[in-house]
Every structure is written in structure tokens, then in C-alpha cells.
Amino acid sequence: MPKFAANLHYLFTELPFLDRIDAAAEAGFKGVEFQVPYDYPGRELRARLDAHGLQMVLFDAPMGDWDAGDRGLAAVPGREAEFRAGLPKAVEYAQALGCELVHVMAGVVGPGVDYKEAERAYVANLRYAADLFRPHGVNAVIEPINRRLGVVSGGPSYTTEGMHGYFLNHTEHARRVIEMVGRENLSLHLDVYHMQMLEGNLAETIRGNIGNLKHLQIAGVPGRHEPSVGEINYPYLFDLLDELGYAGWVGCEYRPLGKTLDGLGWAARFGIGRRTAAAISQA
């Protein structure tokens, strides 16, 4: 059975941020993920997690100035020093939160930037990050993201339907970059929502990359809503993950159509949802 983690920048946004950790546990999730932990002291986040026996499964390395349009810096030539200066903070939070996976975002590459130069910066920066992470037991992951769409207008911080101009857009490119970097603690992170938007062929792509797949995320297409909404047959993919012996987490990075608990019917077969939350609150 897949292990599901609640993405707290997308789910339970009807609550203050720290209270979302409590809500995720009450709903039956065993893990959580969110892009940016740096707004809160690591010890405070860890105390909340430990109070519920929750595992922190993924967060992003510092990505530059989000409000100014940065979406990571690893593939942005000329900003290597800034990228590398942020990595110790990622290590600090990985240790504080007991988290083994850090998503290193490529970033947005403008039309005037040479593609090959951006790729050279990307490979060099990923080597640097992987080498810095390794002694601390931290693994880096990279994720192809669709560049057609952008932030959700009026939505919570860090929620997007895509990232305009994002450098890494296809699974094949991500795999090639991983091979060029040549570090055992650099792996693949796939978001099924982005996969469908970018390339389709979901089952065979998962099957062909299962050996290097460390993290998976889900959402419905179109709209990035519940995985029960739209054109993707998620029950089939969940069964496929079991068949392939996938041992990583599945991050629920989707925008609920209404309140989070109201949209968790798809997860009832996995012990997650309103009924589970009610049972826990009465215990």
C-alpha cells in the first residue's frame, strides 16, 4: 500500500500553518511535506511532528526570492554562489526535522540565457549539493515541472499549477542530468500531475524509472485538484506502485475543491479521511 504524505502548502489551508500538522495526523496521514520550512524554527516544527509520530518526508532547498520570480537557482548561471550559500540551511533543517530528501529546484531560465550554459551550471551545482548533503545522510532529488502554467491567482503561498520558464521539463532530461552528475545520493522526483501535462505515458514512465525514483506526488488533471478529479486513473497507478515495490512516499500536492477533509474520499481505502479523523478525535 502506498505511503501518503500531506503537502501542507496545498492541504488544510483553511487552518493556520502549524495547525495543519495536527490536522494531517488527525486525518490519518503518517507523513507530511511542504516546500518551505524556513519560516519556523526547526525545533518547533519537529516538536509538532513528534507529538503525532509524523515523518517529514520532503522539503525544498532555498529557492531564491519567490516573490521576485525565482523558482530555485541550480540552473541559473551567474548565481552559483547564492545557490551554494543556501545549502547549509537545507542541511540544518534536514537534520532538525529528520528528513532524508531535499528537492533542489532548477529555476527559471530566461530567453536570453544559453541552454548549454544553464545545463553546465545545473550539473555543477547538483554535484556540489550532493557532495555537501552526503555526509549528513541527505539525498537530493530533482523534479520535471511544466512551464505552461504558473502560480494560482489568489491561492496560498507556494501553490502553483506550473512554473513559467522552468528549466527542467521532462523525465528523460532529468534522467540524463542525474547520469551526468554521477552521485548516488541524487535521484528522481516525479509529480504525476506534471508528467501528464508534459508527456503522458504515465505507467510506463513510472515503470521505466522505478529504480531511481525516490519521491512521487499526485494531483488531478486538469486543475490540480483531488486525484479523484480528472483524467488520470490513480487507482491503477497506486496498484502499479505496489506491484513494482515502490518504497518511497506519495505526496498529496493538490488543491482541494473545497475543504480538505471533504475531498479525501479517494483515500478512504488507505485509512485516510473524515472517518479516520473522527475516530482519532474521539479516542
Tell me which of 33, 119, 226, 253 is the catalytic residue: 253
Tell me which of 33, 143, 161, 226 is the catalytic residue: 143
- Is 92 a known active-site residue? no
Place of cell 529528520: 98
* SS3 annotation, the chain: CCEEEEECCCCCCCCCHHHHHHHHHHCCCCEEECCCCCCCCHHHHHHHHHHHCCEEEEEECCCCCHHHCCCECCCCCCCHHHHHHHHHHHHHHHHHHCCCEEECCECECCCCCCHHHHHHHHHHHHHHHHHHHHHHCCEEEECCCCCCCCECCCCCCCCECCCCCECCCCHHHHHHHHHHHCCCCEEEEEEHHHHHHHCCCHHHHHHHHHHHEEEEEECCCCCCCCCCCCCCCHHHHHHHHHHHCCCCEEEECCCCCCCCHHHHHHHHHHCCCHHHHHHHHHC
- Is 226 a known active-site residue? no
Q: Where in the sequence numbering do the catalytic residues fall?
A: 143, 253
